[in-house]
Amino acid sequence: MRSARSARTISGTHCNDRRRRREPRWNLPVRSVFRRGDEFSGAVPSYPASALDIANRLPKDIIMTAIAHPVASAAAPGKVRNRILWTLQILLGVFFIVGSGLPKLMGEATAVHAFQQIGLGQWLRYLAGLAEVSGGIGLLVPRLTAAAAAGLSITTVLAACTQAFLLHAPVMAIFPLVLAAIFAAIAWQRRGNFSLSLR
């Protein structure tokens, strides 16, 4: 009797060893989700019934790593959009400060002649130059970006109206209208900064 039981025990041990050899090793941490010994004890494995059960069985370091390091691709579109906006803001800001606003304030001959043709006086030239320089500086200040873009959008719309109705050059109004659309888009994208500037 004892020898027969010993033989059965030995044969059962060999069978378990064969099962363990045949089973592939898992390199993934999902193996830790199941209770140890369920696969080889002859009982039905206790598979997780829900996502909460999986979370409770996963090692804490895996969970903390997933929380501390979210997927970088989710934040990538926001970073690309921010870079595009800042590129536009810098280019347009420098253009309106150096190329458009300062010549009006310094009395460049072309700007003086243009406002003489408008016929409303040179005070309008100073007002337009001050608005453009202030808006260009505001585009470079994060807290003032939305307000500056909105102001420059209104300024360029007025410039387009001046070209179309006072100077009778509707073709020249296309460029200011394009700038107005760009400034409106920047103001909308940076609308969160407008609330910060009011605090």
CA nearest 15: which of 43, 38, 40?
A: 40
Give the 3-state DSSP-derived string for 4-17, with helices as H, strands as E and coil as C: HHHHHHHHHHHHHH
- The count of domains in the chain is 2
CA nearest 84: which of 175, 189, 191?
A: 189
Statement to judge: residues 61 and 85 lie in one domain: no
54: domain range?
Answer: 2-68
Classify residue 29 by its DSSP letter: G
Give the 3-state DSSP-derived string for 31-98, with helices as H, strands as E and coil as C: HHHCCCCCCCCCCCCCCCCCHHHHHHHCCHHHHHHHHHCCCHHHHHHHHHHHHHHHHHHHHHHHHHHH
Kindly state the average pLDDT of the residues 162-191: 93
Token duo for residue 126: 């100073």
Statement to judge: residues 56 and 111 lie in one domain: no
Taking the chain, what is the end-to-end CA distance rounded to the nearest angstrom?
90
Statement to judge: residues 114 and 46 lie in one domain: no
- Report pLDDT for 76: 64
Residue 48 confidence (pLDDT) above 60: no
Phi, psi of 42 (to 5 degrees): 90, -10
pLDDT per position as a tens digit, 53-81 = 555 655 555 555 555 555 444 456 678 88
Statement to judge: residues 64 and 87 lie in one domain: no
Classify residue 198 by its DSSP letter: T
Residue 160 confidence (pLDDT) above 60: yes
pLDDT per position as a tens digit, 98-112 = 999 999 999 899 999
pTM for the model: 0.60
Statement to judge: residues 20 and 96 lie in one domain: no
Residue that terminates a domain, selected from 68, 86, 119 = 68
Statement to judge: residues 155 and 96 lie in one domain: yes
Statement to judge: residues 103 and 161 lie in one domain: yes
From the number of C-beta atoms within 10 Å of its C-beta (0-12, 13-18, 19+), residue 163 rates as buried
Lowest-pLDDT range, 16-25, 51-60, 166-175?
16-25
